[in-house]
Structure 1
Amino acid sequence: MFAWFRRRYLDLLGSIYIYNEHRGYTSIDRVLDAARVRSADDPTFIAAIEKHRADERKHYLMFKRWFELQGKMPLEVGRTCGHIDRFVEIIFHRTIDDLDTDAIIASDDAFEKLCRVISLTEQRGYRQVDILLRHPLVTGDKVLMKIFRIIEKDEPSHWAPYEGWLEAHGKRGPKWWERAIDTFIHSELLFLKLPMLFLNPFVKRRVDWADAHDSAQRLASPLPAGI
């Protein structure tokens, strides 16, 4: 019984992570498009976002490899399990796919909001990885532990450029209500959506990998050795 419980938990955990990592790097493509126009004179800022994007892609590939080693596909989870999806929907009142990149380029206010959303999301991810590295259901999986250690090392550089941009342009940091939204989204996933998925025997597996639909020029990213 315990073995089944552990397999089911890790299956869902990996499926939610691989969804969020894919959603992360494909969403950053929009941020990059905006930053290259808005901050064309700041190559350091653009390079930091490019690294963030490359890391998210790398993390996606690590989870993909983890599933491949088990000979199975991730479970089908949608944007309701995506932290950045929910945050953008609440702050901008539209989905990530419906965000107007031209409007973000043209508006300091919109780009500022987006920077805060990304920064809070990445900091939440860092705290969650710290918890998972000590989770008794995770520590027995050597590959998964290696993946989370790599993510733990990468994460601090992910929110730094966005916080740096806010500070350099005299913009405010997150307000209490923005942090409350972040906490709500995380609690909603942890205490409502994850248990519902865990108990739902009808959740299907994906029939293809999410990156099968990525444009060819966006795919390049190295996979760490040993994974």
Structure 2
Amino acid sequence: MIKRFQRRYLDLLGSIYIYNEHRGYTAIDRVLAAVRARWPDDHALISTIESHRTDERKHYLMFRSWFERRGIMPLAVDRTCGHIDRFVGIMFGSKIDDLDPLRIIANDGLFERMCRVISLTEKRGHRQVQILLRHPIVRAEKGLMKIFRIIEQDEPSHWAPYDAWLEAHGRRQSSWWERAIDGFIHSELLLLKLPILFLNSRLSRRNAWPDEQDGCERSIGIPSFAAGG
């Protein structure tokens, strides 16, 4: 019974992460294209966002490899478990896919808001990984521990380009109410959505990998990160 509980928890945890990592790098692709269009000569900003995108894609592939090594597909969680989906929905009143990145980039006020949303999301993710690295169930799974250690090292550079843009343009950092929204979204997932999904015996598994729809090629050597467990 205990082992079944642990497997279910890890399956759900990995499934939520693989959704969010895929959602992350595909959303950054759209932001990056718009930044290149408006500020083609701002090589420093473009480079740091490219690095962020590369890391998100790498993290997605590590989780995918973790599932592949276990011979199972992730559970079919959707955008209701997406932190950035929920945050964007509240802050912009729209789904991510319905936002026009060029309109966001063209308006400094909207881009300022987007920078704060991304920055808060990345900082939240870093704190959560630090918690998971101390979690007894996660610590017993060597493959996930390797993944989370890599994410912990990568995360601090992810909010840097957005905080730097805010500072360089004299824009404010996140306010108390934006941090409160971020905390609410996280608590909602942890205390409400996660238990419901855990107890939902009808929750099916995905029948295809998320990146099969975005035409990206898998990187070489990623599976070694998820060895063990």
Q: Same fold (TM over 0.5)?
A: yes
| Long gaps (5+) in structure 2 | none
Q: Which residue of 2 aligns with 1:28?
A: 28
Please tell me whether the aligned partners of residues 115 and 162 of structure 2 are also in contact (alpha carbons under 8 angstroms). yes
- How far is the alpha carbon of 1:224 from its aligned partner? 6.5
Alignment partner of 1:138: what SS?
Answer: helix
Separation (CA, whole Å) in 2 of partners of 1:192 and 1:163: 31
Q: Which residue of 1 aligns with 2:70?
A: 70
Q: Which residue of 2 aligns with 1:102?
A: 102
Q: Which residue of 2 aligns with 1:172?
A: 172
Change (3 A) 1:220 1:8: closer
- How far is the alpha carbon of 1:170 from its aligned partner? 0.5
- How far is the alpha carbon of 1:225 from its aligned partner? 3.7
Equivalent residues in 2 for 1:119-138 (5 A)?
A: 119-138=119-138
Q: Which residue of 1 aligns with 2:14?
A: 14
Change (3 A) 1:226 1:151: closer
Deviation track 1:165-192 (CA, whole Å, cap 9, x = no partner) reads 0000110000111000000000000000
Q: In structure 1, what residue type is equivalent to 2:175? A: K
Q: In structure 2, what residue type is equivalent to 1:133? A: L
Q: In structure 2, what residue type is equivalent to 1:149? A: R
Please tell me whether the aligned partners of residues 57 and 221 of structure 1 are also in contact (alpha carbons under 8 angstroms). no
Please tell me whether the aligned partners of residues 19 and 77 of structure 1 are also in contact (alpha carbons under 8 angstroms). yes
Alignment partner of 2:11: what SS?
Answer: helix
Q: Identity of paired residues, percent?
A: 68
Equivalent residues in 2 for 1:77-96 (5 A)?
A: 77-96=77-96
2:70 counterpart of 1:41:
no
Q: In structure 2, what residue type is equivalent to 1:152? A: E
Please tell me whether the aligned partners of residues 74 and 205 of structure 2 are also in contact (alpha carbons under 8 angstroms). yes
Separation (CA, whole Å) in 2 of partners of 1:107 and 1:142: 45
Separation (CA, whole Å) in 2 of partners of 1:125 and 1:66: 19
Please tell me whether the aligned partners of residues 66 and 223 of structure 2 are also in contact (alpha carbons under 8 angstroms). no
Separation (CA, whole Å) in 1 of partners of 2:105 and 2:163: 18
Please tell me whether the aligned partners of residues 54 and 221 of structure 1 are also in contact (alpha carbons under 8 angstroms). no
Separation (CA, whole Å) in 1 of partners of 2:224 and 2:75: 25
Number of equivalenced pairs:
225
Deviation track 1:88-115 (CA, whole Å, cap 9, x = no partner) reads 0000000000001221122111111110
Deviation track 1:17-39 (CA, whole Å, cap 9, x = no partner) reads 00000000000011101211232
Q: Aligned-pair RMSD on alpha carbons?
A: 1.1
Please tell me whether the aligned partners of residues 62 and 147 of structure 2 are also in contact (alpha carbons under 8 angstroms). yes
Please tell me whether the aligned partners of residues 147 and 225 of structure 2 are also in contact (alpha carbons under 8 angstroms). no
Please tell me whether the aligned partners of residues 62 and 225 of structure 2 are also in contact (alpha carbons under 8 angstroms). no
After alignment, is 156-165 or 32-41 more displaced? 32-41
Deviation track 1:111-162 (CA, whole Å, cap 9, x = no partner) reads 1111000000000000000000000010011110000000000000000010
Change (3 A) 1:152 1:224: farther
Q: Which residue of 1 aligns with 2:202?
A: 202
Change (3 A) 1:84 1:54: same
After alignment, is 54-63 or 27-36 more displaced? 27-36
Normalised by the length of structure 2, the TM-score is 0.96
Q: Which 4+ runs in 1 deviate beyond 6 A?
A: none
